[in-house]
Structure formats: C-alpha cells, structure tokens
Structure 1
C-alpha cells in the first residue's frame, strides 16, 4: 500500500522553475473601479505562445511569474466588455497599473493560444499529438484524456456532465449520433485537433437567434483527403475463439464514408458501435422505438466490460455515407444489420420488503437470446446561412426471440418469447428567411407495428386461471399498432437584443392494443378481465411562444417559453364497453438563465412546470402477463402528473490551466392522481394495479465534478460525485407506505505517463444506496469497483501490460470479485500493425456476485462469466 501511495503522490509532483521574473499590478476600469477576474497573459511577443498567465483577484491585483531570457515581454490584459490592453514591457520585476476602457467587442473574438490548445471564443481546440500516449490507437483513446470530457461505459460522450449535441468530422455530421463508429475506429494519427464547440447551435440560420447550452465535438484531420480505419483478426482458446473486424473510412471535402463488418464470439458487444445518441428537441416525443410489453426473466449483467461475461456469436454490418451535393447540401445514408446469439447463465435471490412481511424468491436462470435487427436512415440536409432544410426517412425492423429456463426450489419453468417489430417514420424541418423574419415548419409522421408472444410452462397464477390447480401452460399474445403525425408552423424574429419565436401546431396519435391469454390445449380465456381491445387517441392543438434575450457583450442569455396547449385523450375498449376521456388546457412555462460571471466563471439556472399524461402502457383495462410472475392492469382514470423542476449550476473553465469544474443542484416535485398497488405473493408473483389516489413525490439531486490536465506530467485527473434523495408513496400488499431512498456516488479516473517506460490508468467508483419506509431504513448497500492497468515499455515498439480489477458489495457474503489480466503487444513499423497476445481472467473467476436495491426490494445475482482465455490478435490501424 505504501508503494502505491508513493506512486500516486509522485504523479502530482510539479517541479519549480529556475530563475523567474515577477510581474505584479492592479487592473481598473476607466472610472478607477477595481476589476476582479481579468485575464493577464504574458508572451515573448504578440504572436508567440503564452509563457505565463494570471487572473486578477477581488481587489483587481495580479501576480505573474515568468521565465524567459528575452529582454522584453508582451503583456495582454482582457476582461469581458472591455477593450484588450496590450503593451511591450521590459523583462524585469515591476509594478503595473492597467486601465481598461469599455468596448462592444464580442466575447467570441477572444483568442487564447498555447502549445496544446487554442481558444477562440466558444471553441476549444486540443492538440491530439500533445495528449496521445504510446498505447493510444484510435481517437477515443485520446478523447478520454481531455479535461472536461467523459466517455460513459456505453460510449456516450459528455462534456461538463452533459451529453454532447453533435459529433462532426471536418464540420460534417455524417453519423447522425452513431459516433461510436468513428470514435472506436478512426486512427489517432490521422487527427490533428479535437475541437469542443461550446454553446453550439447546429442550425446556422439560428446561430444568432437561439442560444444553445450544449456542446458539440468536431474532429479536425491532418489531410484534406484521409483514408483511415482499423482491421482486426484474432484467434484464441478455450473454447475456440475468433474475432474479425474491418472498418475502412474515407474523408474528403465532399464525401465521407465509414463501413464496418465485424464478427466475434469473444464477448465484444458489437451493437454498441451503432448506438444512436442523437436527440430530438422539437415537437412531441412521438417515435418508432420498440416497446416491450412482455419479457422473460433475465439475470442482471455485471457492471463491467462485456468481454468478461458476454457469451455471444455476433455479426454486424454497417454503412454510413455522406455526399455533399453542393455547398451546404448533404445527402446521408446510415444503415446497419445486427445478428447476434447470446447466452445467459446465473442465479438471483430477490427479497421484497413490505410493511407487513419479507418475501424471498430464488431463481436459477438459463437464457438463449436471438437478435436480428435492421435499421437505417436516409437524410437530405441543407444547412445554409439563410435557410435550413432537413428531411429524414427512418425505418426499424427486428425479429427477436428469447428462450429461458428457470429452476426454482419447487419447480422448473420454461419461458419462450417472440418479438417481431416494424416501424417507419419521416421527420421534416424547414426554416426559411422571408424578409427580416425566419419562417419555420416541422412535420413528424410515423407508423409502428409490434406483435409479441410469451409462452410459460407450467402455467402460473393457478388461483386465478385454474381454480388453484396446476396446469400445463400459459400464453400471452399482444398486438399493437401506432400511427401518428405532429405538424407545426411559426416564425422567428430578432428585435434588437430580443428574439421572439411563436409557433402553432397540432398532433394526433392513434394506438391500438389487442391482448389475449390462452391456457393448455389452446383454451382461450374469455373472461373480459383478461382481454384488451383498446383504442387510445391522443390529440393536441398548441401555441408555443418563446422569448430570448442576449446582451450585447454576450454575458447574459435569458430564455422564456410560454407554451399553451389543449390536449384531448380518448380511450375506448370494445371488450369492456367503457370509455375514458380527458380534456386539459395546460400551460407549461420554462425559464432559463445563463450568465458569464468572468472569463472563467459562468452560472445557470432554470425553472419549469410540466404535465405528463398516461401512455397506453399504463392505461389498459384487462390483465396482461408481463412476465412469468408479473400480472398487470390499469383499470383507473387516465393518469395525470404535474411536475415542478428547478435547476441551478456553477461552472469554471480555464483552458490555459486545462482545469474544468462544475457543480449543480436540482429539485423535482410531482403530484399524481394515481398510485400503483403491488400485491406480492409468497412465491414472488406480483399483481400490479392502478388506484385513484392523490399522492406526491420529491427528489433532490446534487452533482459536482472536475477534471485537470497536468501538462508537465502528461496526466489527466477526473473526479465526480453525486447525491440523490427521493421520497414517494407506494401501496404494498394493500398497505400505504412512504418509500425513501438515498444514494451517494464517487467516481474518478487517472491517466498518467509516469515515465518513458511506464503508463498507468486507474478508474474507481464507490456507491452507497439506502432505501426504507417512513419509520426506518430496511436496507443499505455499498458497492465499489477499482481498475488499475500498468503499461511497461521495454522498447518503444512493444509493451507488457498488467491489469487488476476489484468489485465488491456489502450485502453478499461472497460479494468480493478479483480479476487479473496480462497482455503483450509488439508493433511492426512496416506494415503498420499491432500483434497483441492477451491472457484474460488469469484467476479463472467463474462467477460474479452483484447486488442492488430499488425502493422496496433488493436483488442479489450471480452471473456465470467467461473462463480464463488466451487471445492473439493482429490489428491494423491505417
């Protein structure tokens, strides 16, 4: 332990320079008012890199130490809303007085340069060569080291704890949110810079009209014509392993393409490379995403790399092409096909806590999962300075099936589910300049159909379906259809510092649900309580107006949205001959504020009122078998929820120091007209119903984080923490209870180049989750995981890596899990390729024990892992 502490402390040692000149002074405005937060930069001359910098304190004073052999120095002092002060001074210790004059110079014109980054207004450009280490091959390896950036386990990219908006390559959005393909395959050697576009507005015509709080990323390549990509071939044992992947890509000024084919049985989850992280921020949330009405009982997968646990046989083919037809006009095609077979093997122990009892369910599970999915998008986009047009046709089809076998102490249960799905939609968005106004039009239309079949043997819920007697099988059939359209028109106009954007629109969505239950020998259950013939129509007419204010110096950005909407809901069920109707006129105001406090500090706050109404998944009259031990229905009024949402945050960004800090607090309060009642039987069977009973819930959430790049040590440190506190009411076995939860999380990572022959990567995560009823807590679980990888370089073209992982939880008696890995890599210069031999799971840990809790129950699961395996791969990065 002492050696580990010594290494960690050594990483943070910063050696002092030799002879230095100390420049001190004070900054005032033209009225002799002291200016706090002014930026002081010193360089050799007006075009050279920055030698030293500082920030004035609350009294306007500054002190900057600079090391230079030059006889003279160039001083630059800047402050938001004031003209930049520039002066050549002698290289000697001295006291200065600086007076700044007011200026209308826009903040985005401020330029800051250093050897590893450039800042121009809201754009930060990081040099890839400055961050790239010896074992970094693709751009994702470099991106995770950049301060302010976090790559989540699924590949999602976050900047200052918020998801990025766009992922560009040379300013073009070819992938439409599927950026894992580029991130995991684009050679880092082909990239010159990674640009972070803060407050990025992706629609050019809205750039000066609508303020954006979100950031985007742009990848700058070294060459105008770039051929890049990866190719991998691997084989190993035991059992027989294979891994094959080829991902060629080309980037020119008018054409971009990324094509990939990959196949493996080594546990690599290929589907992650075609995940779509894009989000739609206009119109209603209608879409063609597949919804699961029924499911088989699964084992919760472990919280680490799928290569450790996923037993698979996957094939993925994807093509992504962008063709620039003419200036600002692009045609894009994104299409992928995934075929995957997976096996799951494990056991779970579930304990339910009710106000009157404790119920345990023990299950050993073995599942076979068959995935066949085809999806794609065809997009035509014209993103010009005066006009914007985007039309996107998307389709989604899948033919998935699951087979499961559950062993319980008293019985064996077979599950079988088939889940074919098809959906198609078209999204259109048009913005056109007419005179001094910007006319807008949007249209979103789609259709989806889903047919699901769940078969359970032997039949469950004997008391309900067979007078308490055992019977052979229970089958649930579900058929759903959905068609929708959402259309709007409006205009946007700038009135000095203000922008107004009224919009009128209407939407309608029609959904149909048919469900039937069959017993042994195809015997249909005719009781109306177990059938649904439901039609649900949701329509609305809305007027949404937004007001925006941006100060001349861009230090203030205010936004106020005042949407007024008339919503109408009608639910009919021919089987019950009942109708539920609901008409509401709702007002959902939203206010947000962003304030630049200084060159480095900014603050934000927002408040919103939201209304949520029942979806079809919480509206059907008749019982539906969701899983082999879950029977649900919602024979109650249409649900209504009113939410108040408040947020406030403070951020610090100093590119010169490569230091990013942020903290935020949010509070959500909701009121509901329905409460959901769970009746849990002795064998774990659960009947869920909705009850008309007013209730409320609230949630407090605090987040803080920071990241810092230590330039001299080539080390990136990232730390984050979050705390959540929630309270809501629950009906458990006909008893009303207040359920309270608390969670605390710490996570951090360290990427350090300790010396020319040693690189260390560490990541850790600690979480504590407590749940309980109003009269006391019933369960607290602490979980933690730590990963350390060391890379030893006896020569520049080869390394030996040793990695260790620790996972533990406080609930399970055998909840401690250790893993050790070794690998050796040799790099051939001609041709450029890596030969890697890895030995995974050296300790041959065969099971992973995990535990988690959620409100009124906890689950302890044991998952069968992949055995100790050796894999040799050849990887080309071109």
Structure 2
C-alpha cells in the first residue's frame, strides 16, 4: 500500500480511506487519488490504490472542506467535495466513452506504485551513455560507490534483479558495466523488499532491492570492443553476449587489457546474509609483501597490468518458480607496482621515520564458482548453493632502504568449498524452517625475506641472510538450525534452535638461513582451535495494519565453548560462556515521505584464530606478531538512529543517521616500533575500551527543468581506543570529516557537465598518556579531490569531451598538488551501429603522484610511478 501525504505541524490531521471499484465491482489497483482544498488549488496529498483497490491517506489541513479526485486510465474521473474529517469512501469508476483525438503523453521521470519506485531510463539518458551503470550513477537517492556497490538511501541493496530474476547472485557489476542502456526501459527500486515470497507477510524487510526492466520480453544482445594504443603498445578486447527471456538468462564475457582497467571489479560479490549465521570462506592473507597503498583515483592512472577475465553466468527456469543458476569466473592478472613510501610513526616518546622504494610484481590466478538451485513460491522456499573457489597467487617485491635492499617472495595459494541450504515449508498455519551451512578452507603460504629481519628477537642480535615463514592453515565449519515461524494477527514469532562447530588449525615455522645453513627457530605454532555454539533464537515482529509501525526484537541465547590446544608449547585454554545478545529495531512512518528508525544491540565477540597464536609469525618483512595471552573477549554495545525522507513528486531524497559503538575488551595490543620501522605486535591481558561516534548525511535532488542531478553527503566520526605504544599507555583519538558532492547537468542540448568532489580532514591525537608525556594533536591532514568533465555534442552521432582532475593534500612537502587532463572523441556509425572512440589520457604526462594519509599512530606518504600519457583508439559495437 502506498501512503503519501504532506503534513504541517499544528494542523488537524484527517485520515481519508476507501476502496475503488470498476463497473463490475472489481478492485482497481493503481488508481490515483488527489486531495486539494478545491478544484483549482495546489495538491495537499495524494495516494495510489493497492492491489486490493484500497487507499489510505493522511493529511493536515486547516480547510473546512476537501476536494477529492480519483482517476484511472480508460475511466471517467470521479470528483467530490467532502468535509475535512476522517472519512471512509467507496468509489466506483465507469468507463470513459470519450473519443481520444490528439493526446500528448509525457513519460513520468519517477513513478511510485506501492513500494516500487520506477526511474525512467529515457528521461535520464543523454548521448554519451552506453551501459546501464551510466544511468544508475545519475539517479537521485541511489549511490554507486567506486568499487561498484549500489546503495539506496544510505544502505546497500540486498538483491539485483533483471526482469525479477537474480542471475548474478551478488556480482551485479557485470550487468551494470555491460548491459546496453538502449535495452532498458526502467530502473526500479523495490523498497522494504522481502525476496522470499513465503515470508512476505511474516517478516518485514528494511532493505531495498533493484530491478532492471527491459524493453522487450525477449532480449538477445551483446557488446564487443577492441582497441589499440601507444606509449607503450596498448590493447584491450572485450566481448559480452547476453540473452534475457522469461525462462532463461545468460551473460558471458571475455575481457583482456593492459591499459590499467581493473576488470576484476565486475565479478566482486556484494551479496550478504542478514541472518548472522554465516561463516566466511573469503581468502585470508596471513602473509604479505610490503605494498604501495592504492591512490584515490581511477586505476587506469597507475595500474600496470596484463589481465584476462572469463565469466559465464547462466539461469534456467526449470519450472514455475524453480531456477537453476551457474556462475563461473576465472581471472588471470600480472601487475607491477613502482613507487616509494615515507612512513612516520608517532609514539608518546619519539617520532620514527622510514623511507622505502618499492618495486613489486603481483600474479593473480583465481577460479570462483557458484551452483544454485532455488525454488521460491508463496508456499515453499528452497535454496541450495555450492561454492568452489581456488586461488594460485604469488608476489615478489624489492624494498630499497637507505642502507639495505630487501627481497620478498610470497606464494599464497588458497582453496575453499561451501554448501549452503535453506528450506522453508508451510505446515498447517506454521512455517517450518531449516538452515545448513558447511564448508572447508585450506591455505599453504610461504614468505621468504632476504636479508633476515628482527635479529634481536630471532638470532641473538646477530645478522643473518634470509628468513622463511611457512604457514599452513585449515578451517572446517558446520552450522545447522531448525525453527518455526507463526503469524498471530499483527505479530509474528520465529523461534529457532541450532548448533555450530568450527575447527581451525595453524601449523607455522620460522627458519633462518645463514651461508646456506638453514636453522629452525623456537618460534612455531601447532595450534588447534575448536569452537562450538548451542543457541536458541527467538524473534518477535510486529507490523501495524497501515504499515506505519514495524518492530523487531531478537533475543538469542547462546552457550559458547572455546578450546585451544598448542602441542608445541603444551598450552591449553578453555572457556565456556552463556551469552544473551538482544537486538531491537523499530521503524515508524511519520508521513508518506518521512520515516525514522532506531536500533540497539548487544553482542559478544570472542577470539578468532588470527589473534590466538603464541609463537611469532612474520606477517611481512617488518611486522612480527604473536598473541601470547588468553582468548580475546569483547562486549559490544551498538546504537543507531536514522531519519530518511524521499519524495518522488519533488525528486528529493535525504537520509541522516547517528550511530554509537562502545566496546569493552580483555586484551590490549602492544606495538613496539624500532628505529628501522620494524613493528613487534603482542597482546597483553588488560581491560580496556574503545568507542566511536558516527554521523552521516546524504541528500540528492533531480531538477527536471534543467535535467540535473545533485548529490551531497557528509560524514563525521570520532573514535577513541587505548593503545600500548613502545611501552606507554595512551588513548589514541581519531577524528574524520568527509564532505562529497556530485553534479550531472545538461547545460544545453549540445553540452553536459559532470562534477565529483571530495574534501576530507583526518586528525590523530594522543590523550591521557601514562607515564605523563606530552599529548595532544600529533597529525592533521586535509585532502581534496575534484574532477570535472564536459561533453560537447557536435551532432547526433558524435561528441568530444575534455576533463580535468585535481588531487591535493596538506602534508606533502613536494608534489602536494597533482593535476590531470584528458580528452576523448567519439563518432557513431549508424549502420551498423559502431562507436569509434579515441581517448588521450594524462595529456600533461604527469609521471608521479603523491598521496598522504594517516592512521592511529602513523603518517604515510606514498609516491606512485604513473602510467605515461597514452592514446587508445577503440571500436565498440552491439550485436
């Protein structure tokens, strides 16, 4: 049901409800109801009838009477003047007998029907737009972040559909970057979307999903691109055939380039599970070489790559509401990084400077796959998903310091398998639920560093030529639960009982090599860590009839057990805890356009295996760490409040939120930083705290008269945590302010302009140092990023664009300001439709970029060797 109204404080509120029928007493869905003071006055409120013909409109007005008009295509408009008080109406529409002669139909830019918000693609499209991502970036209320993830009103979308089907299982950038905009009619936002049909009336959802509506019922298309360039020899190639029907969908792609385009972004998985029962099979990088941090601009500026990507995504509807999906991808990439880093470590007693020149080669080989069987009906739900992933990655690096050259070599293979099953089945008036999640991962990593480091700890202060860290890890988990869901009027209860087991192993060894004599150190791990959890969850939900109130209270009770056994040092640890982790959420519709929500929760985090080992592990050439302490225990309190406003009539969207997190920990982490920048990380048993305050504001507005979308956002966060730095206890405080904005404006029929800008301030300070030491602000950095592009349309089939970029920071002594200029020209051949594009990037031939950032107790200034000025000509066509 769609409830839309405008309210003014101090006015008397009236509620107008009713039902709309046709001449045969059948309910009419989608009829428009408009309320004003008289037939010529401005609209006070409006609504749209739902699938049962009902409408419910609240409004505030001082007028004694109201003028109501009901319209529906093909029927005579119904109008009536009523008294301004709560009323219930029954409206019967009759077919229109008028002959339509000349009719001018203006497509609606943004249309609201119930919980579905539709954006007309043609209204936002201009001559330069080619794929649907170009449109989504412009839509008010929607944000596409640099990695490709889509947010609506400040929250990530939970599902991405094409014609109602979830083909890509979270890897939706593949569709965004390849689906031709000419094939799409609408982009729909499904607000409060419950993707499981059997739960639709039982469990409300505060998340939104996105659906792509195509122009044709059967769409067979594809895109292809080939390109060549100079400085040095450059190439790119891409072919992506696609098919979309009611029973079958497929996207297949092969891509390759050495132009710096990171095609791996198209297969990033943005899916997430809100149940909280998931174990991750994401790749864990225990060991690494020292890398340059990524700069804050497009990778085409700096990434030296040679990449190949193949991906097959196929969906077949076996029978009604039963889908079989296959998602496969293989990525092969060779990357080179060159640059330098100056790191300044701040401790309560000293400032330590480290300068490194870096030359890295990174080799990526990744195979990822998902096989999914899903049945989604109003009576039953079944989803079984099998994942198989394998990584064969390796890296090598060269670090040049003032007096030494350090060689690094890393082999980093990783494999994972997981099967997830979820079943929901109606049994009488109850809904029976079952979940199962079982998986296994294995890693065998090897890091070789020459010359050896940490002589004082590892080799009695004597230098040695080489150190080798060998690390093998395995991870097995299973989580199974069963429950029921039952509706009791406006209430729903969902008790669930389950049991999980997780077993993790670490086998690690440190070897020293001097004059080809390999010696084993005492720093090794033979760790077994087993956790079990017997839990009972109960969720209470309430939804009012008019959907103005939604409440959820979760009351999980868990008996957790942790057993740690290290046979190398004969250490055994065991703890058992009975924990209660309640979570409360309530959402209130203040008006048709305005809603608010608050949430509060308590949860317990216990030590992960990454924070439990007792023998030192060399994680990279200048980080040696261990956690020779009890099992970590952390108690977290989280509070959040959100206010959101969205008005399709005014094309205005706004959201604001505040969150507070307080964490109490039993372990404090000690960082001992030496003069050469080497850091020894250990854990000590000491109660401590950390807290954070976070404020967010997001707003966007579409100005239809000038075809312009304006987006603004602001974030301010304050965090504080206790640290032990070089033997001194100190509270480290961080403040971060970030302001960003974007503009997409159609200045005229021959000119459009886009702008993106970010301004941020990051500040770090020491407080309450023990023993008494100088405290206060130790570092503040201000950064700016601004990009402007202008597109000049010379004719219907050609345009050229020019753009500039500026990056600046307040800390760098040299090259604190960086500028880039780009140019491109595109000509479109109509038959066949082929785009010829010539792009000239980095016209100023800026060969170095300086980026600066700070974290809790260090300042890092990175210099990147950039790609030279380059020209690439490409042909793009559809088939």
Question: CA 1:62/1:640 → structure 2, altered by over 3 Å: closer, same or farther?
Answer: farther
Determine helix, strand or coil for the equivalent of 2:264: helix
Q: Look up the match of 1:865.
A: 866
Task: State which drifts further: 114-123 or 835-844.
Answer: 114-123
Give the Å deviation of 1:636.
0.2
Determine helix, strand or coil for the equivalent of 1:273: helix
1:85 touches 1:100 (CA, 8 Å); kept in 2?
A: no
Q: Provide, for residues 112-156 of structure 1, a one-character-per-residue CA deviation record: whole Å limited to 9, x for no partner.
A: x97212211110011111111111111011111111000000100
How many aligned positions are there? 822
Q: Look up the match of 2:541.
A: 548
Question: CA 1:38/1:658 → structure 2, altered by over 3 Å: closer, same or farther?
Answer: farther
**Is 1:236 the equivalent of 2:232?**
no
1:137 touches 1:877 (CA, 8 Å); kept in 2?
A: no
Q: Structure 2 matches for 1:616-655, cutoff 5 A?
A: 616-655=609-648
Q: Structure 2 matches for 1:321-332, cutoff 5 A?
A: 321-332=314-325
Question: CA 1:27/1:604 → structure 2, altered by over 3 Å: closer, same or farther?
Answer: closer
Q: Look up the match of 2:100.
A: none
Q: Structure 2 matches for 1:393-432, cutoff 5 A?
A: 393-432=386-425
Question: CA 1:434/1:53 → structure 2, altered by over 3 Å: closer, same or farther?
Answer: closer
Determine helix, strand or coil for the equivalent of 1:178: coil
**Is 1:779 the equivalent of 2:758?**
no
Determine helix, strand or coil for the equivalent of 1:519: strand
Unaligned runs of 5+ in 2: 18-27, 45-53, 61-65, 72-76, 92-105, 768-774
Q: Structure 2 matches for 1:463-542, cutoff 5 A?
A: 463-520=456-513, 525-528=519-522, 530-542=523-535
2:220 touches 2:243 (CA, 8 Å); kept in 1?
A: yes
Give the Å deviation of 1:679.
0.3
1:104 touches 1:552 (CA, 8 Å); kept in 2?
A: no
Mapped partners of 1:573, 1:722: distance in 2: 45
Determine helix, strand or coil for the equivalent of 1:133: coil
Q: Look up the match of 2:812.
A: 812
Q: Structure 2 matches for 1:133-152, cutoff 5 A?
A: 133-152=126-145
With normalisation by structure 1, the TM-score equals 0.90
**Is 1:307 the equivalent of 2:308?**
no
**Is 1:292 the equivalent of 2:281?**
no
Q: Look up the match of 1:823.
A: 824
**Is 1:121 the equivalent of 2:111?**
no
Give the Å deviation of 1:95.
11
Q: 1:569 aligns with which of 562, 572, 575?
A: 562
Q: Look up the match of 2:788.
A: 788
Determine helix, strand or coil for the equivalent of 1:79: strand
2:15 touches 2:56 (CA, 8 Å); kept in 1?
A: no
Q: Look up the match of 1:854.
A: 855
1:806 touches 1:816 (CA, 8 Å); kept in 2?
A: yes
Mapped partners of 1:431, 1:452: distance in 2: 41
**Is 1:266 the equivalent of 2:244?**
no
Mapped partners of 2:531, 2:503: distance in 1: 7
Q: 2:333 aligns with which of 340, 361, 366?
A: 340
Q: Look up the match of 2:606.
A: 613
Give the Å deviation of 1:796.
1.3
Give the Å deviation of 1:102.
5.4
Question: CA 1:80/1:436 → structure 2, altered by over 3 Å: closer, same or farther?
Answer: farther
Q: Look up the match of 2:69.
A: 87
Give the Å deviation of 1:482.
1.0
Mapped partners of 1:430, 1:674: distance in 2: 40
Give the Å deviation of 1:96.
8.8
Q: Provide, for residues 397-434 of structure 1, a one-character-per-residue CA deviation record: whole Å limited to 9, x for no partner.
A: 01000000000001000000000111101000000000
1:81 touches 1:103 (CA, 8 Å); kept in 2?
A: no
Give the Å deviation of 1:550.
0.3
1:255 touches 1:322 (CA, 8 Å); kept in 2?
A: yes
Determine helix, strand or coil for the equivalent of 1:666: strand
With normalisation by structure 2, the TM-score equals 0.90
Q: Look up the match of 2:209.
A: 216
Give the Å deviation of 1:466.
2.5
Q: Provide, for residues 9-36 of structure 1, a one-character-per-residue CA deviation record: whole Å limited to 9, x for no partner.
A: xxxxxxxxxxxxxxxx9999xxx98128
Mapped partners of 1:95, 1:762: distance in 2: 49
Determine helix, strand or coil for the equivalent of 1:355: coil
Give the Å deviation of 1:287.
2.3
Mapped partners of 2:751, 2:504: distance in 1: 60
Q: Look up the match of 2:21.
A: none
Mapped partners of 1:62, 1:575: distance in 2: 86
Q: Look up the match of 2:47.
A: none
Q: Look up the match of 1:279.
A: 272
Q: 1:581 aligns with which of 574, 582, 588?
A: 574
Q: Provide, for residues 466-505 of structure 1, a one-character-per-residue CA deviation record: whole Å limited to 9, x for no partner.
A: 3322211000000001111000000000001000000000
Q: Look up the match of 2:843.
A: 842
Question: CA 1:205/1:332 → structure 2, altered by over 3 Å: closer, same or farther?
Answer: same
1:350 touches 1:361 (CA, 8 Å); kept in 2?
A: yes
Give the Å deviation of 1:523.
5.1
Determine helix, strand or coil for the equivalent of 2:275: coil
Give the Å deviation of 1:527.
4.4
Give the Å deviation of 1:465.
2.4
Q: Structure 2 matches for 1:51-200, cutoff 5 A?
A: 64=42, 79-80=57-58, 86-87=68-69, 98-101=84-87, 115-200=108-193
Q: Look up the match of 1:801.
A: 801
Give the Å deviation of 1:625.
0.3
Determine helix, strand or coil for the equivalent of 1:289: coil
Determine helix, strand or coil for the equivalent of 1:634: coil
Question: CA 1:27/1:676 → structure 2, altered by over 3 Å: closer, same or farther?
Answer: closer
Q: Provide, for residues 335-368 of structure 1, a one-character-per-residue CA deviation record: whole Å limited to 9, x for no partner.
A: 0000000000010000010011100110000000
Task: State which drifts further: 710-719 or 115-124.
Answer: 115-124
Q: Look up the match of 1:712.
A: 705
1:459 touches 1:470 (CA, 8 Å); kept in 2?
A: yes
Question: CA 1:699/1:709 → structure 2, altered by over 3 Å: closer, same or farther?
Answer: same
Compute the RMSD of aligned alpha carbons. Answer: 2.8
Give the Å deviation of 1:877.
3.3
Determine helix, strand or coil for the equivalent of 1:520: strand
**Is 1:598 the equivalent of 2:591?**
yes
Question: CA 1:38/1:523 → structure 2, altered by over 3 Å: closer, same or farther?
Answer: farther
2:827 touches 2:837 (CA, 8 Å); kept in 1?
A: yes
Mapped partners of 2:739, 2:869: distance in 1: 31
Mapped partners of 2:317, 2:56: distance in 1: 40
Q: Structure 2 matches for 1:758-777, cutoff 5 A?
A: 758-774=751-767, 775-777=775-777
Give the Å deviation of 1:87.
3.4
1:301 touches 1:863 (CA, 8 Å); kept in 2?
A: no
1:798 touches 1:825 (CA, 8 Å); kept in 2?
A: yes
Mapped partners of 2:6, 2:350: distance in 1: 70
1:149 touches 1:159 (CA, 8 Å); kept in 2?
A: yes
Mapped partners of 1:607, 1:867: distance in 2: 51
Unaligned runs of 5+ in 1: 1-24, 40-46, 67-75, 106-112
Give the Å deviation of 1:88.
7.9
Mapped partners of 1:652, 1:595: distance in 2: 12
Question: CA 1:33/1:680 → structure 2, altered by over 3 Å: closer, same or farther?
Answer: closer
Question: CA 1:810/1:573 → structure 2, altered by over 3 Å: closer, same or farther?
Answer: same
Question: CA 1:98/1:512 → structure 2, altered by over 3 Å: closer, same or farther?
Answer: same
Mapped partners of 2:264, 2:579: distance in 1: 40
Mapped partners of 1:103, 1:294: distance in 2: 69
Give the Å deviation of 1:303.
0.9
Q: Look up the match of 2:550.
A: 557
Question: CA 1:655/1:452 → structure 2, altered by over 3 Å: closer, same or farther?
Answer: same
Q: Provide, for residues 170-229 of structure 1, a one-character-per-residue CA deviation record: whole Å limited to 9, x for no partner.
A: 000010000001000001110111110001111010011111111000001110110123
Mapped partners of 2:744, 2:496: distance in 1: 48
